[in-house]
Amino acid sequence: MRVPGFNQQGKFLLPAVIVLLLISATAGGWYYLVIQHDKPTPPTLVTVQRGSIEDLVTATGILQPRDYVDVGAQVSGQLHRIHVEVGDKVESGDLLAEIDPTLFMAKVDASRAQLRYQRALLNDRQAQLQLAQIHHQRQQNLLAAQATSEESAQNAAAAYQSAKAQIDMLMAQIDQNESTLRADEANLSYAQIFAPMDGTVVAISARQGQTINASQQAPVLMQIADLSAMTVKTRVSEADIARLQVGMEAYFTTLGGRDQRWFGTLYRIEPTPTVENNVVLYSALFDVDNSNHNLLPQMTAQVFFVIAAAQDTLLLPVTAVHTRRPPQTPAAGSGAPATVTLLDDKGDLVEHQVRVGISNRIQVEILEGLKEGEQVVASTANASDQRSNQARPPMGMRMR
């Protein structure tokens, strides 16, 4: 019977087998470490393609109506009735609300009565003035004929001048009361509140039956806005605000817009910032058309200010392009020098000069030096490793 690990002569063979296995494993590991590990990894290539690129400044914004007005009350009193609701469309001159007019009507009636009394009194004083004038003229005629005393003539003249003065004073009182009547009538008209513009009622801050106090400031009852045009008020960080310029194009999307873009032109950058959580933010505003009324006040907008853009241009990933400094958008018609590692027709990796344009930190525009369909190494770091490995002589397994 043969025992495993022994030959026919009974000699023990297992140690020799173990030694052979160890030698084989060592040789395989050495081959992997020296030959396979040193073998260069095939480079990752990207293809020069055509497409569109934008250099953008992103920000968040809030939509608000471009034209709106806060409708207030100019007189105090109880809000008798509100004729509109939020969302109603109104035209200029439509009746919006009414304040109880009882007190204002009473003042108007009292002023009119006082005015009628004074006008009647004026008629009486005018009659007395005519009588005083006749008496004064008679006394003057008698005095000329030496048929009356000078004292009587002087008394008649004084009575005549007094009657004229009484009429002048009464006329002044009538003018004053007419002014008071106009004010009372205006207050009565203010009890009815009319729409100052065409638009939509977007907010109502008062309630029917509420007492309105307009003695110190006009209380706001509701807000009317023209929703056919909206203003986007964005908040831009201080790191990006220097890149914005009035007149540049901007667009935004909304949460429910299904990737729809609304476009506008930046028209104002407000110089006074706001600070939120130690972050300095500046307001930048632009208008958009909303004739279809898809946009509503207080919607959140994801805003993109277009620093530069190009259509149907050659593009590469930023990692495939090497520049001395981070890619920046050059002036129009110019380009910045850069290098790429190009896979030439012979299959060799060569350093190649190009000129780059717009960059958005993901892609970069190639202005000169490459053609559509050419391939370059995806990462400049990997390209350096590949060129080093190509120059290094292969290492074989050293045998003793």
Cα separation, 58 vs 129, whole angstroms = 84
The values of phi and psi at residue 338, to 5°, are -160, 170
Chain position carrying tokens 């609701």: 85
Does the pLDDT of residue 385 top 80, yes or no? no
More confident residue, 63 or 41: 63
Residue 334 confidence (pLDDT): 57
For residues 208-221, one letter each, b for 16 or more C-beta atoms within 10 angstroms of the residue's C-beta and e for the rest, the string is eeeebeeeeeebeb
pLDDT single digits (tens) 72-130:
999 999 999 999 999 999 999 999 999 999 999 999 999 999 999 999 999 999 999 99
- pLDDT-derived band of residue 169, with 50, 70 and 90 as boundaries? very high
**Cα distance between the two ends of the chain:** 42
Residue 257 confidence (pLDDT): 77
How many C-alpha atoms does 359 have within 13 Å on its Cβ side?
Answer: 23
Residue by residue, DSSP assigns 71-122 as EE-SS-EEEEEE---TT-EE-TT-EEEEE--HHHHHHHHHHHHHHHHHHHHH
Q: Is the dihedral of CA 47, 49, 54, 58 positive or negative?
A: negative
More confident residue, 392 or 40: 40
Element (H, E) at 309: strand 300-317
Element (H, E) at 313: strand 300-317
H runs (alpha helix) in 191-249: none
Across all residues in the chain, what is the average pLDDT? Answer: 85
Cα separation, 82 vs 75, whole angstroms = 16
Residue 318 confidence (pLDDT): 92
**Which amino acid makes up residue 302?**
Q
pLDDT single digits (tens) 363-382:
999 999 999 999 999 985 55
Cα separation, 276 vs 364, whole angstroms = 34
More confident residue, 394 or 355: 355
pLDDT single digits (tens) 298-356:
999 999 999 999 999 999 999 999 876 554 545 444 578 999 999 988 888 999 999 99
CA max distance for the chain: 191
SS (H, E, C) 258-304: CCCCEEEEEEEECCCCEEECCEEEEEEEEEEECCCCCCCCCCEEEEE
Mean pLDDT for 236-240 is: 94
Residue 22 confidence (pLDDT): 56
Does the pLDDT of residue 187 top 70, yes or no? yes
pLDDT single digits (tens) 124-165:
999 999 999 999 999 899 888 888 888 988 999 999 999 999
Residue 204 confidence (pLDDT): 94
How many C-alpha atoms does 94 have within 13 Å on its Cβ side?
Answer: 16
Residue 391 confidence (pLDDT): 43
Closest listed residue to residue 339, CA positions, set 329, 352, 320, 325: 352
Mean pLDDT for 8-34 is: 53
pLDDT single digits (tens) 252-302:
999 887 789 999 999 999 999 999 999 999 999 999 999 998 999 999 999
Instruction: For residue 351, give Cα distances in angstroms to 172, 331, 354.
Output: 100, 26, 10
CA 309 from chain centre, in angstroms, equals: 22
Does the pLDDT of residue 215 top 60, yes or no? yes
Cα separation, 218 vs 71, whole angstroms = 9
